[in-house]
Chains A and B, each alone.
Chain A
């Protein structure tokens, strides 16, 4: 990914060093870092303060003024999410994600925020959440203005088995949108590294949008290691569980496969409580990675399997569990869950799979089942404020939430 000049729009390091001049804006005060005051003020409201601001601060101010912050949708340890409106067009809603100052990163922005901004501003696709703009508010808080997606996420649809009913056509439509989003990321050399149902938000028109790029990164150069501590555990592929430092887009495909399985089963397919248990579940639910089905796997740094070796499960097993999606659907699922990442299907080849053209045809997005009521809004608030790469465990079992955040890179 080329270096984007958009970063100019963020407060520059010099401006960050001092507290914002807006807080104690004395009319006669010179610009905080000595740059000359621009002669032309961009708009009337900003003109009052322009005397005290340098160019970058003023641009930031303009950007901030475009939006009105509304009620709080959710609060978390990592970020608060507010509903926002466009000042010139109040009917247009946005979600403003205000990143909290992080104690771990007092000297700069939290890497999650940097990753999110860096990649979202470059990706523009109907199935990826849109980042409208970024500005900083008082105390150097970073605000991300995101597309407002009011209908919740796929997780609430999957979990609400009592009220939400969907069929193969709906699953196919959702999978199509997810796969397109992942394909678009990969074509633009971005690994998402946190694909799971509650990062798949639903727009007002039913379109599924991939969100939360807090763990995303661009494809690594050769010989430059990446962290293996990414992707929420249930959706983490075996190569990451075995501590691989050089991996490819295939990691996201594994997650897509497990989301597919979850959509069909309406429960996570491989839900391990620890990494060891996760490996165990993969061995049982997919097959034990061995030298035969994955040459070289035993040389991976954290290769640990139990003595019980399960051969790679065949089509019968998947047919019994996922037979409703039809022969082609099961074939696609099996290809996404191939243990050896080099043999795993790519997102592009997924879209070329014959399943999409088999009956039933994917449901049109306006006819997709959706959850009614205000729950969606709440859920979006919760989704956006969450720290990336964490299973929402406080919901499933009452164990304290374990932060699972990968270090930089």
Chain B
């Protein structure tokens, strides 16, 4: 907004509606001038055709050709109106100008109440400018100019900040747009691939049938499908579910991904808790008491509980052994109570097992 507007008060446009066919100044008609454009000047919002503007203002500033208007206009100030209703055009212009000056954001105020009061004041001023009486308008105009003078630095700073925020927002939007576009392309490509795959599959089935391979058509299909199934699963068959795939398709994650997504088990899926007995917290035993209390045991951390656990284990160790079962499974099981028992039953390796058989047999 030019500073020019500040010095002179803005008047209400006399005819609020932008003319569409006839220029109010030269009375030319659109019928004969198809490229007719109407321009306004924010000094007075009086519309006239671009030819009139050229004729009247080319040689320098001149008075508005409207009879009742005494404003001096310049060629530079003319522009096309955005709104058909020129009073709206004017209000928008005013609001733009006020917003450019009163450009504080909520972050600039300590409380919400302060910010709301500020907004209230700004709106009062704007209203006075837009639809106040001449007196009110002049006063508001003076206020606006005074504020602008006083807070020049703040206004500049806020404007800069606003530009940055705006730029960031634009960038974000552009990125989101690009991503969704890439997604659409990818989907299209996948679909295309699946379609192609389906086509080759069909063709191969037909070729095999034409060659007269052994078996019925259904058997041939089954055979080819067995070869293909792997690849189809990879191609994300959900786009084109093949009607004849009887076997359930793999649509979930691959084995590798499943392995990756498996929750981590710190114990490595091994449970070593005793299954045939429970270990109590304390056992009354006068023989063990000194080991609990004597300094040479207690201080370096000797644990009676560890001893008790071992004694219990050894007492129950033989109970889980079934020689016939052990013979059947000569392989050592991995890391289970069974493995411990197996080791004790002497089934750890083939040749040594013979000795075991002798002992137990």
Residue of B306, B343, B351, B354 near A248 (CB, 8 A) is B306
**B291 at interface (Cβ–Cβ under 8 A)?**
yes
Residues A189 and B306 in contact in the complex (CB < 8 Å), given A62-B351, A132-B349: yes
| CB proximity to B under 8 Å, residues A1-42 | 1-2, 4-6, 8-9, 42
Please encode chain A, from 118 to 131, with 1 for each CB lying within 8 Å of some chain B CB and 0 for all others.
00011011110000
Give the residues in chain B near A222, CB-CB below 8 Å. 287-288, 290-291, 297, 302, 304, 307
Q: Is the CB of B335 within 8 A of A125?
A: yes
> Which A residue's beta carbon lies closest to that of B354?
A59
In angstroms, Cα B290 to Cα A127, docked, is 36
A250-B301, A357-B263 given; name 12 further pairs at CB < 8 Å: A2-B317, A42-B354, A121-B348, A124-B340, A125-B270, A246-B297, A247-B300, A247-B302, A294-B299, A299-B299, A340-B301, A356-B264
- In the assembly, what is the distance between CA of A125 and CA of B344, in Å? 15
The A/B interface has a contact count, at CB < 8 Å, of 157
Chain B, range 341-361, C-beta contacts under 8 Å to A: 343-344, 346, 348-349, 351-352, 354-356, 359
Known contacts: A180-B267, A364-B259. The answer to whether A2 contacts B352 by CB under 8 A is no
Chain A residues 29 to 75 lying within 8 A of chain B, measured CB to CB, are 42, 59, 62-63, 66
Q: Is the CB of B301 within 8 A of A342?
A: yes
CB < 8 Å: which of B272, B290, B310 contacts A184? B272
Of A4, A218, A344, which one neighbours B310 at CB under 8 angstroms? A218
Report the separation of the CA atoms of residues A132 and B298 in the bound assembly, to the nearest whole angstrom.
Answer: 39
Write 10 A-B pairs (CB below 8 A) sorted by A numbering. Answer: A124-B333, A125-B334, A126-B335, A244-B296, A249-B303, A296-B299, A342-B301, A342-B303, A351-B267, A362-B264
Q: Is A188 an interface residue (CB 8 A)?
A: yes
Task: Bits for B179-219, please: 1 = Cβ < 8 Å to A, else 0.
Answer: 00000000000000000000000000000000000000000
Residue A300 is within 8 A (CB to CB) of chain B in the complex: yes
Contacts of A297 in B (CB 8 A): 299
A189 to B343 Cα, complex, angstroms: 15
Contact with A along B71-95 (1 / 0, CB 8 A): 0000000000000000000000000
In the complex, the answer to whether B343 meets A219 with C-beta atoms within 8 Å is: no
Which of B259, B264, B288, B340 is A176 in contact with, Cβ under 8 Å?
B264
A299 contacts across to B, CB distance below 8 A: 295-296, 299
Q: Kindly state whether residue B280 has any CB partner on chain A within 8 Å.
A: no
- In chain A, positions 68-98 with a C-beta closer than 8 Å to chain B are none
User: Which chain A residue shows the least CB distance to B259?
Assistant: A364
Residue of A nearest to B352 (CB): A9
Q: How far is the CB of A205 from chain B (nearest CB, A)?
A: 13
Contacting residues, chain B, for A4 (C-beta < 8 A): 343-344, 346
Shortest A197–chain B CB gap in Å is 20
Report the minimum CB–CB distance from B306 to chain A (whole Å): 5
Encode B308-349 as 1/0 by CB contact (under 8 A) with A: 011001100110000000000000111100011001101011
- Size range of the interface on A? 35 or more
Contacts A246-B297, A299-B295, A356-B264 given; indicate if A59 touches B352 (C-beta within 8 A). Answer: yes
Task: Using CB atoms, name the residue of chain A closest to B336.
Answer: A124
A239 at the interface (CB under 8 A from B): yes
Q: Contact at B301–A239, with CB atoms within 8 Å? A: yes
Q: How far is the CA of A124 from the CA of B335 in the complex (A)?
A: 5
When distances are taken between beta carbons in the complex, the residues of chain A under 8 Å from B354 are 42, 59
Q: Do B301 and A187 have beta carbons less than 8 Å apart?
A: no
Residue pair A121, B264 in contact (C-beta under 8 Å): no
Q: Indicate with 1 or 0, residue by residue over A214-230, a CB within 8 angstroms of chain B CB atoms.
A: 00001111110000000
B332 near A244 with CB under 8 A, answer no
Q: What are the 4 closest A-B residue pairs judged by CB atoms, nearest first?
A: A341-B301, A244-B300, A222-B291, A296-B299
A296 to B297, CA, bound (A): 11
| In the complex, residue of chain B having the shortest beta-carbon distance to the beta carbon of A176 | B266
Chain B neighbourhood of A126, CB < 8 A: 268, 334-335
Q: In the assembled complex, how far is the CB of residue B348 from the closest CB belonging to chain A, in whole angstroms?
A: 6
- Which residues on A sit within 8 Å (CB–CB) of B313? 189
* Least CB separation from A353: chain B residue: B266
Complex contact B290–A223 (CB within 8 A): yes
With an 8 A cutoff between CB atoms, is A361 at the interface? Answer: yes
Contact among B260, B266, B302 with A180 in the assembled complex (CB-CB below 8 Å) = B266
